[in-house]
Amino acid sequence: MKRARVVLPHRAPDRPAIRVGAGDTVTLGERDSDWPQFVWTSLTSGLGGWVPAMLFDREQGLATARQDYDTRELDADPGELLVLHDELADWWWAENAQGTRGWIPARVLELID
């Protein structure tokens, strides 16, 4: 089990998280300027969020998801210790001491051996 210490604060964006399921058809838009491996992904419901582009069968327009993905992010403050579960596109799926899970960027973390 990997662990990390938060070295910079991270706050989730002020929009609802979305979930993409394997086989879902979505519409892909522009790439993120800070995180170019992420693409703006719109669900058929109209909600959207940033999802790693590698999870889709094409680069733009209508695409099909290859696997499940949840855009939920984890709020964290410097000094917090997190358990790290999975890494994808320079982000970690992490869990805090209260058991809350979500994505957090690797650049705000210091891995603990």
CA distance 22 to 25: 9
Q: What is the pLDDT of residues 14-57, one digit of tens each?
A: 999 999 999 999 999 999 999 999 999 999 999 999 999 999 99
Q: What is the 3-state secondary structure (H, E, C) of the chain?
A: CEEEEECCCECCCCCCCCEECCCCEEEEEEECCCCCCEEEEECCCCCEEEEEHHHECCCCEEEEECCCEECCECCECCCCEEEEEEEECCEEEEECCCCCEEEEEHHHEEEEC
Q: What integer pLDDT is reported at residue 113 of this predicted model?
A: 76
Q: Which two tokens stand for residue 58?
A: 């094409």
Q: What is the pLDDT of residues 65-92, one digit of tens each?
A: 999 999 999 999 999 999 999 999 999 9
Q: What is the pTM of this model?
A: 0.93
Phi then psi dihedrals of residue 104, to 5 deg:
-145, 140
Q: What integer pLDDT is reported at residue 49 of this predicted model?
A: 96
Q: What integer pLDDT is reported at residue 94 of this predicted model?
A: 98
